[in-house]
Amino acid sequence: MDKQNQIFSYVEPEENSGYLLWQVTMQWQLSMNRALGKMGLTLTQFSLMAGLYWLSRKEKTVTQQQLADYANTDKMMTSKVLMALEKKQIIKRIKDPVDSRAKQLKITSKGTQILKEAYHIVEQVDAVFFKNVIKDKATFDHLLMRLIK
- pLDDT (tens digit per residue) in 72-107: 999 999 999 999 999 999 999 999 888 888 889 999
Residues in the chain: 149
The per-residue pLDDT for range 100-140, each reduced to its tens digit, is: 888 899 999 999 999 999 999 999 999 999 999 999 999 99
Give the 3-state secondary structure of residue 89. coil
Q: Within 10 A of 74 (CB to CB), how many other CB atoms are there? A: 11
CA 1 to chain centre: 41
